[in-house]
Amino acid sequence: MDHPPVLENQASTAVPKANEYERKVRILNEAMQEIGMGRYQWALFFVTGFGYFADNLWPIVTGLILPAVVNEFKFNAPFVKLGQNIGLLVGAVFWGVGADVWGRKLSFNATLLITGVFAVSAGGSQNYATLSALAAAWSVGVGGNLPVDSAIFLEFVPATHQYLLSVLSIWWSLGQLIGSLIAWPLLTRFSCPTPTSTSISCRPEANKGWRYFLFIMGALMLLLWAIRFFAFEMHESPKYLLGKGKEAQAVEVVKRVARVNGKTCSLVLEDLLSRGVAKEGREGKVEAFVGDAEKVVEVVEKAVKEGKAGGGGGSVMAGLDFTHVKALFATKEEARSTCLLVALWALIGLAFPLYNSFVTYFLSTRGVQFGDGSTYTTYRNQVILSTLGVPGSIISGYVVELPVLGRRGTLAIFTALTGVFILGSTTARTSNALLGWNSAYSFTSNVMYGVLYAITPELFSTKDRGTGNALTAAANRVFGVMAPIIALYADLSTSVPIYISGSIFLVCGILALLLPKETRGKAAL
């Protein structure tokens, strides 16, 4: 084996780890741009879209079945929502951080399976405690979808098509729409009349609509998981592999993607290892690195952590430290970016449930006439609101590429507009007027979410992206848990929560402008 010459004064000439990592990521970005947006990425657009679909579907599912479930079991509705939000929190943290520890592929293949299994089981619940527990269990799967799927798609798509990360949120809108369309006939036909007093019995055999709904939605999740697992060959993210020092495997993944796209790729291992020399074995694994003292230290440290040096095991658990969290605050710019993103997700996580939990009670105390109040009208309105979210997601993919607005400007404008329409809804005095205000905020909020889902993973580097996504999602879920707790103990007739909700969105619009970097036109690192 030939050894390169030893560099003199290596301490002063060595490239910092962060700069060396960024150099390699830029090389991968160039390779992905050379491959282009092809068959593999378009297939990935669909299968990662399943995660977005599930993320918005299941909170809607819980809300749609709640009137029928409360009629049958006679309990305080917020308990199911509380169980769900706790599960979403656990799932976001576990799968998001796990994606940086054991890779994207495992998390990607597990989340929908967990959701489907527990959702189908929940259809057989005999009391509200069981249903609440199973809602928490299926939500552990749901909570991991967005932190993982957004990272996966971003890390395979060429820079020229990163706007599709905003368009990907169309699946989020479709989750709400399809769930509402299926619930409409099932819950209208197979539910006890609503509202019923607590003294009137709602027989289970006359109230099977919510069970049928859970069976169908759970089965749909299992179908989507099967498509992911059996019909699509998921490769581990090359940028994740690069962050783990597995350059040879990263190059191999890029070449596989190129073959699927019918393209050739000029990337070779030496492009990533220009600071040293690599010798590869028959299986394409790097057997030795020489000529780079920094790399030698990294390999030794990794071996110790994985228990190889001491003969121990537990390599997966060894990665569960605060390394990835610390990296999110490594510089002033990164710390500012992380704090602002966490604040945005947390505040939005509180503002939406605050509005949804309180608006009906508030308006009813102001003499609002809600029409016939039938189950049919309720689900019809839900379908209308869900439909308006679809064009919002598509438009978000266009406006984020506008030179003047970009990600930050679009996020600021549509977040503020969402707050304006929520505040405007307090003036409604009829069901149709409320539907009009809610339609407007449904549209603007879907644009907002489309941009937020795109800019969040773009602002985190690949090696820490899963943890960063997990941190923001966890903040969103923690504050989301607060809303049903407030609903359990607060005076729901007060107008204060709605005004707070609208004001929070206005504040978030300002926070969006304070983000330190505009990611439009820049390849994610």
In whole angstroms, give the CA distance from residue 81 to residue 83: 5
Query: Residue 194's pLDDT is what?
Result: 61
CB 148 within 8 A of CB 108: yes
Query: Do 355 and 486 reside in the same domain of the chain?
Result: yes
Query: Residue 411's pLDDT is what?
Result: 93
Query: Do 162 and 44 reside in the same domain of the chain?
Result: yes
DSSP state of 244: T
In whole angstroms, give the CA distance from residue 454 to residue 510: 18
Secondary structure, 3-state, 339-371: HHHHHHHHHHHHHHHHHHHHHHHHHHCCCCECC
Contact residues for 56 (Cβ-Cβ < 8 A; gap 6+): 172, 173, 175, 176
User: Percent of the chain, pLDDT > 90?
Assistant: 34
Query: Do 205 and 345 reside in the same domain of the chain?
Result: yes
Domain endpoint, select from 316, 351, 372: 316
> What value does the mean pLDDT of the chain take?
80
Helices (H), 400-461: 406-424, 431-459
Query: Residue 35's pLDDT is what?
Result: 93
- Rg of the chain over all Cα atoms, to the nearest angstrom: 25
The verdict on residue 524 lying in a domain is: no
The sign of the torsion formed by the CA atoms of 402, 404, 407, 412 equals negative
Query: Do 199 and 117 reside in the same domain of the chain?
Result: yes
The verdict on residue 69 lying in a domain is: yes
Please name which of 177, 161, 173 lies closest in space to residue 44, comparing C-alpha atoms: 161
Query: Residue 59's pLDDT is what?
Result: 85
Q: Stretch 477-505: mean pLDDT, rounded?
A: 75
Contact residues for 478 (Cβ-Cβ < 8 A; gap 6+): 89, 346, 349
In whole angstroms, give the CA distance from residue 272 to residue 27: 7
Q: Stretch 252-257: mean pLDDT, rounded?
A: 95
The verdict on residue 303 lying in a domain is: yes
Helices (H), 77-195: 78-101, 104-122, 128-143, 145-156, 164-167, 170-189
The verdict on residue 353 lying in a domain is: yes
Asked whether residue 176 carries a pLDDT value surpassing 50, the answer given is: yes
Please name which of 128, 107, 158 lies closest in space to residue 65, comparing C-alpha atoms: 128
Query: Do 60 and 155 reside in the same domain of the chain?
Result: yes
User: Between residues 318 and 473, which one has the greater pLDDT?
Assistant: 473
The pLDDT tens digits for 432-490 are 888 899 899 889 998 998 899 888 888 888 778 888 888 898 898 888 777 767 666 66
Domain endpoint, select from 316, 345, 379: 316
The verdict on residue 65 lying in a domain is: yes
Please name which of 6, 83, 209 lies closest in space to residue 480, comparing C-alpha atoms: 83
Query: Residue 74's pLDDT is what?
Result: 83
Question: What token pair was written down for 99?
Answer: 């994606």
Give the residue numbers spanning the domain of 269: 14-34+238-316
Please name which of 364, 273, 379 lies closest in space to residue 60, comparing C-alpha atoms: 379
DSSP state of 478: H
Count of CB atoms within 10 A of residue 53's CB? 27
Ramachandran quadrant class, 193 (left: phi over 0; alpha: psi -120 to 50; beta: rest) = beta
Query: Residue 100's pLDDT is what?
Result: 84
CATH no. for residue 80? 1.20.1250.20
Query: Do 384 and 286 reside in the same domain of the chain?
Result: no
Task: Decide: pTM greater than 0.85.
Answer: no
Question: What token pair was written down for 226?
Answer: 């099967």
Asked whether residue 300 carries a pLDDT value surpassing 80, the answer given is: no
The verdict on residue 160 lying in a domain is: yes
Query: Do 85 and 170 reside in the same domain of the chain?
Result: yes
Of the candidate ranges 12-16, 195-199, 261-265, 404-408, the one whose mean pLDDT is the lowest: 12-16
The verdict on residue 381 lying in a domain is: yes
Q: Stretch 369-386: mean pLDDT, rounded?
A: 70
The pLDDT tens digits for 263-292 are 988 899 988 886 533 333 333 333 333 333
Beta bridge partners of 289: 278
Query: Residue 284's pLDDT is what?
Result: 38
Query: Do 394 and 424 reside in the same domain of the chain?
Result: yes
Question: What token pair was written down for 340?
Answer: 């602002």
Contact residues for 428 (Cβ-Cβ < 8 A; gap 6+): 363, 368, 434, 436, 437
Query: Do 169 and 217 reside in the same domain of the chain?
Result: yes
The pLDDT tens digits for 107-151 are 899 999 999 999 999 999 999 899 999 999 999 999 988 888 988
Query: Do 288 and 185 reside in the same domain of the chain?
Result: no
The verdict on residue 520 lying in a domain is: no
Domain endpoint, select from 267, 289, 316: 316
User: Between residues 396 and 152, which one has the greater pLDDT?
Assistant: 152
Name the maximum alpha-carbon separation found in the chain: 87
Q: Stretch 184-200: mean pLDDT, rounded?
A: 73
Query: Residue 360's pLDDT is what?
Result: 55
Domain count, the chain: 2
The pLDDT tens digits for 162-174 are 889 888 989 988 9
Count of CB atoms within 10 A of residue 514's CB? 14
Query: Could you identify the residue written with the tokens 């977040």?
Result: 415
Query: Do 335 and 452 reside in the same domain of the chain?
Result: yes
DSSP state of 206: G
In whole angstroms, give the CA distance from residue 123 to residue 65: 11
Contact residues for 416 (Cβ-Cβ < 8 A; gap 6+): 505, 506, 508, 509, 510
Question: What token pair was written down for 135?
Answer: 């809602």
Query: Residue 252's pLDDT is what?
Result: 95
The pLDDT tens digits for 27-72 are 999 999 999 999 999 999 999 999 999 998 998 888 888 888 888 8
Ramachandran quadrant class, 285 (left: phi over 0; alpha: psi -120 to 50; beta: rest) = beta
Query: Do 201 and 244 reside in the same domain of the chain?
Result: no
Helix (H) / strand (E) element for 289: namely strand 286-290
Burial of residue 214, with CB atoms counted within 10 A of its CB: 0-12 exposed, 13-18 middle, 19 or more buried: buried
Q: Provide the residue type at 463 as one letter.
A: K
DSSP three-state, residue 280: strand
In whole angstroms, give the CA distance from residue 213 to residue 216: 5
Query: Could you identify the residue written with the tokens 């943290």?
Result: 93
